[in-house]
Amino acid sequence: MHNGTSITQFIIEEQRHIAGATGDFTSLLNDVVTACKVISHLVNHGALVGVLGSADTENVQGETQKKLDVLSNEVFIKSNEWAGHLAAMASEEMDDIYPIPRQYPRGKYLLTFDPLDGSSNIDVNVSVGTIFSILRCPGGGAEPSERDFLQAGTQQVAAGYALYGPSTMMVLTTGNGVNGFTLDQNIGEFILTHPRMQIPADTREFAINMSNMRFWEPPVRRYVQECLDGKEGPRGEDFNMRWIASMVAEVHRILTRGGVFMYPMDSKMQAKGQGGKLRLLYEANPMSFIVEQAGGGSITGRERILELQPESLHQRVPVILGSKNEVERILGYHQPD
Ligand code: AHG
Ligand code: MN
Ligand code: MN
């Protein structure tokens, strides 16, 4: 018997504080947790179970899918379609929304997810993750449409991610702070190990893919250049840099010890008519919710991500998030003089 609080116990106890809660939401979260445990198992066993490599297919965004992208997507669907809590799902790996099939009851929630984040890291055995967001379905959910998903991030009921790293973790917010759980592989339960996670307001660490530097806009160039100038520069301090190429791992580091993560707008994406790299509904919004709930900030550069009105399911946005004072500084650099 473990001594800690399991994620199931934690969710049930949280729900007891919500007047009129039916238990629907608790069961939905439990199904999401189960899906992440299955994905964790697949990721951990890697080549032993033949899940590495390419699936030789493309998703709606023109990215080549890895076998694990496709498998993780299927795991999420199978774990979450049957219980009657959802009206529909949407994922990075599906062109259109997935209304709950007629053989199952439809519920009042919507689930969006990035089944495997950082998939370029799978084959090289570096941390990957899963990101999810839960919304209420307007109109009750009997006939869900794409339009129902186009809600500002401020409307999210819950958001979380699973990180498949040296240990598997689940980090969760329901709008009442952020809590982190570690998977105890022996008993198959996530145990509360990181209660009330808080992002330090100041940091000396930034994360950005520097190979894109020549395409960045002036405010981001200025910010990064000032970090690089270190003690002798305007910041008067040396900065450290990290780039894992898994947003989940990046956000987790920031929740643990502070930092700034940037995937900003650049001229290469602009030329392709792309609004950014990361997807609003299942990457930027859930991560922004978590980061803000932990005391950090999250912006496109010019505005708060959670207030954006989504225009399409797979919309992309620039993302700058992390330690509050640094994010505010970067916001300031984007203001016209
Ligand atoms: P995904 O694997 O779901 O497509 O997302 C990858 C994302 C994000 O996790 C990461 O921060 C970024 O793309 C990495 O991009 P680069 O390869 O351009 O560095
Ligand atoms: Mn992703
Ligand atoms: Mn993905």
**pLDDT at residue 1, rounded to an integer:** 52
Cβ contacts of residue 283 below 8 Å, gap of 6+? 92, 114, 117, 131, 247, 319
CATH class label, 205-334: alpha beta
Q: Is the pLDDT of residue 28 over 70?
A: yes
Residue 7 main-chain phi, psi, to 5 deg = -65, -35
The pLDDT mean for the chain works out to 95
Centre of ligand 2 from the C-alpha of residue 282, in Å: 8
Over residues 232-254, the mean pLDDT reads 98
**pLDDT at residue 2, rounded to an integer:** 61
Centre of ligand 3 from the C-alpha of residue 176, in Å: 27
Q: Is the pLDDT of residue 282 over 70?
A: yes
How far apart CA 28 and CA 105 sit, in angstroms, is: 13
Take residue 158 and report the two structure tokens written for it: 């819950």
Handedness of CA 259, 332, 265, 233 (dihedral sign): negative
| Ligand 1 neighbourhood includes 91 CB (under 6 angstroms) | no
In this structure, which residues have their CB less than 5 angstroms from ion ligand 3? 92, 114, 116-117
* Interstrand relation of 178-184 and 189-194 (parallel, antiparallel or unpaired): antiparallel
Residue ranges per structural domain of the chain: 7-194, 205-334
| Ligand 1 neighbourhood includes 247 CB (under 6 angstroms) | yes
Specify the ligand 1 atom closest to the Cα of 114. 3
Centre of ligand 1 from the C-alpha of residue 209, in Å: 10
| Ligand 1 neighbourhood includes 130 CB (under 6 angstroms) | no
Confidence of residue 189 (pLDDT cuts 50, 70, 90): very high
Residue pointed to by tokens 């395409």: 215
Q: Is the pLDDT of residue 18 over 80?
A: no
**pLDDT at residue 336, rounded to an integer:** 86
Among 254, 277, 283, the mutation site with the greatest number of ligand 1 atoms within 8 A of its Cβ is: 277
Nearest ligand, CA 276: 1
Residue nearest to atom 6 of ligand 1 (CA): 118
**Percentage of residues in the chain having pLDDT higher than 90:** 88
**pLDDT at residue 61, rounded to an integer:** 84
| Ligand 1 neighbourhood includes 59 CB (under 6 angstroms) | no
Centre of ligand 1 from the C-alpha of residue 118, in Å: 5
Asked if 144 and 121 count as a contact pair (C-beta separation under 8 A), the reply is no
Handedness of CA 76, 145, 284, 327 (dihedral sign): negative
Centre of ligand 1 from the C-alpha of residue 294, in Å: 23
Compute CA distances 57 → 72, 229, 284, whole Å. Answer: 15, 43, 25
Confidence of residue 236 (pLDDT cuts 50, 70, 90): very high
Over residues 34-50, the mean pLDDT reads 93
Q: Is the pLDDT of residue 11 over 70?
A: yes
The CATH number fitting domain 7-194, selected from 1.20.1440.120, 3.30.540.10, 3.40.50.10860, 3.30.450.40? 3.30.540.10
Q: Is the pLDDT of residue 80 over 60?
A: yes
> Is 59 labelled as part of a ligand binding site?
no
The model's pLDDT over 118-161, given as tens digits with 9 standing for 90+, comes to 999 999 999 999 999 999 999 888 899 999 999 999 999 999 99
Q: In 10 A of CB 238, how many CB atoms? A: 13
> Is 119 labelled as part of a ligand binding site?
yes
Confidence of residue 50 (pLDDT cuts 50, 70, 90): confident
Cβ contacts of residue 156 below 8 Å, gap of 6+? 133, 134, 135, 175, 285, 286, 289
Residue nearest to atom 18 of ligand 1 (CA): 209
Residue nearest to atom 17 of ligand 1 (CA): 245
